[in-house]
Structure formats: C-alpha cells, structure tokens
Amino acid sequence: MAKAVIVIAGKPSWIKTAAEIIEGAQYESLQQTDSTGYVTWLADARAAMILVDGDAADWRFWTATPKASPATRRIPIILVSDNAERRAHALTAGADFAIAAPRLASKLPTLLQDVARVPDAALVAQLDCQCDEPMPPEGLKSIALFNAGEYYKQHDQFEAMWMAESGPVRELYRAILQVGIAYYQITRGNHRGALKMLLRSVQWLAMLPDVCRGVDVAQLRQDAAAVRAELERVGAQGMDKFDRALLKPVQMAGK
C-alpha cells in the first residue's frame, strides 16, 4: 500500500520541520502552492491531512475550499499560525484544528496518529474478504442497467444496496453509482454535474482493490479517469463534442 499523503499548503517557514516529522512517521509530504484545481489535486493525491500556513494572506482559501466539496470535505485540516485571532477564525472557516507554530513539533506527531485520514488495517482486511465474495444477484442486475445505459435506474438499485450493506464493500456500490450518475449527467449535457460526480467517486474507487466482487475496479478507475480528461478537454461549452464512446460498461474481471 502506498504511503498516505500529508499536504502542506502554501510556503510556511516551518515546512522543513513539518516534512521531517511527516516523513519520519512514514507518511509522504507534498507541498501545494498552486491554487488552480486545488480540490481536484487533493482528491487525486488522496490526501490524508492538510497543513495550512495560517500566516499567509491566502490562508482562508487553502482552509475553506476543501470543505466546500464532497470530494475533499472529510480531509482533516490543521491551520498553523502564531496569530491567536487567526487561529480562532480558522475554526469557523473550516479548519479542524488550529495550533501555534512553536507547538507544531510537539503536536504534529499526535495529530498524524490520531487525525490523519488513513484506512484502518482491520477495515481494509474486512473489505478484502467481502470483495472476494461474489456479486449478489441484485448487483448483477444493477450492472446490467449501467451497461445498458440506464444510468439513473442503476443509481436507485445500487443506492438501495449501499443502504442495506453495513460493511466496507458498500463503497463499491457507491463508487459505481456515482460514475453512472456522472455518465447520466453527460447524456444531459451537464458538464459541471458530471465532473462533480466523477471527482466524488475518486475517494471510493481509490479505497477498493483492483477486483471487488468480480468487478474490474482497476478498469473502472481508468475509464472514469478518461471520461474526466475528456470533460476537461471539451469544457462546459463543448459538450456536443464529447466522445460518448468513452462511456464504457462496467467490466467483470476475467471476461
């Protein structure tokens, strides 16, 4: 399993200290200074935590923006600032914790252990066991609806399965239905809605093994990424140019 990513947003004076602690705790440290496509970048990086330079003028952007998107709102955000008033404001702007820079060295190891959004080993083991089981008949029917282009109907079927399942394999159903709804939005010419759903699906597809209940998840990830790239290429005004041949069916592994 790849190392969990801890993002440092901005150009803080404490970046070297933070990076050493992060890497010493066996996480990967990534700095982000480009605000363009911030949410998309966070989702693709599968960020487990964000550290924000609270003394920078644009601290609010780095703090509030992830919380406004379903794709990234679960990522814990830690604002670091020597300004007590700024720290107080940060907690209402979206930060989960706000600490003073001199306390970073002592607080960060505990925050990494207790707060970073890293998959629980027991949950991963349970997911692997559930993924080894065959797809239930209702799931196969839902996939048939998806593959027939009945994207809205597949949503209702998979949503019912997601609600009825308490184990982590429920995220397989959520991932497929969200990709399907993105495809549905494409058929309606809704560029923004399609991109939004594809971005939301990234977090659920990422946590799944390459094959789950017979579904070729790796291929679904690849297909969804190709659709996203095409949406970004044509833009909101070019939906009539979107190549619908990219709306591939859900494939079963080995078939």
Report the range of poorest mean pLDDT among 6-20, 85-99, 181-195. 85-99
Q: What is the mean pLDDT of residues 54-62?
A: 95
With 90 as the cut, is the pLDDT of residue 213 above it? yes
With 60 as the cut, is the pLDDT of residue 188 above it? yes
pLDDT, residue 162, reads: 96
Contact 19, 8 (CB under 8 A): yes
With 80 as the cut, is the pLDDT of residue 143 above it? yes
In sequence order, what are the beta bridge partners of 53? 80
Q: What is the pLDDT of residues 157-186, one digit of tens each?
A: 999 999 999 999 999 999 999 999 999 999
pLDDT, residue 38, reads: 95
**How far is the first Cα of the chain from the last one, in angstroms, to the nearest whole number?**
26
pLDDT band per the 50, 70, 90 thresholds, residue 120 = confident
Q: What is the mean pLDDT of residues 17-28?
A: 95
With 80 as the cut, is the pLDDT of residue 2 above it? no
Give the chain's mean pLDDT. Answer: 93
Rounded CA separation 244/108 (Å): 47
Q: What is the pLDDT of residues 103-115, one digit of tens each?
A: 999 999 999 998 8
With 60 as the cut, is the pLDDT of residue 140 above it? yes
pLDDT, residue 255, reads: 67
pLDDT band per the 50, 70, 90 thresholds, residue 117 = confident
pLDDT, residue 223, reads: 95
Domains for the chain: give ranges and CATH numbers.
5-118 (3.40.50.2300), 122-246 (1.10.3450.10)
Q: What is the pLDDT of residues 69-87, one digit of tens each?
A: 988 998 999 999 999 999 9
Q: What is the mean pLDDT of residues 1-27?
A: 92
pLDDT, residue 1, reads: 52
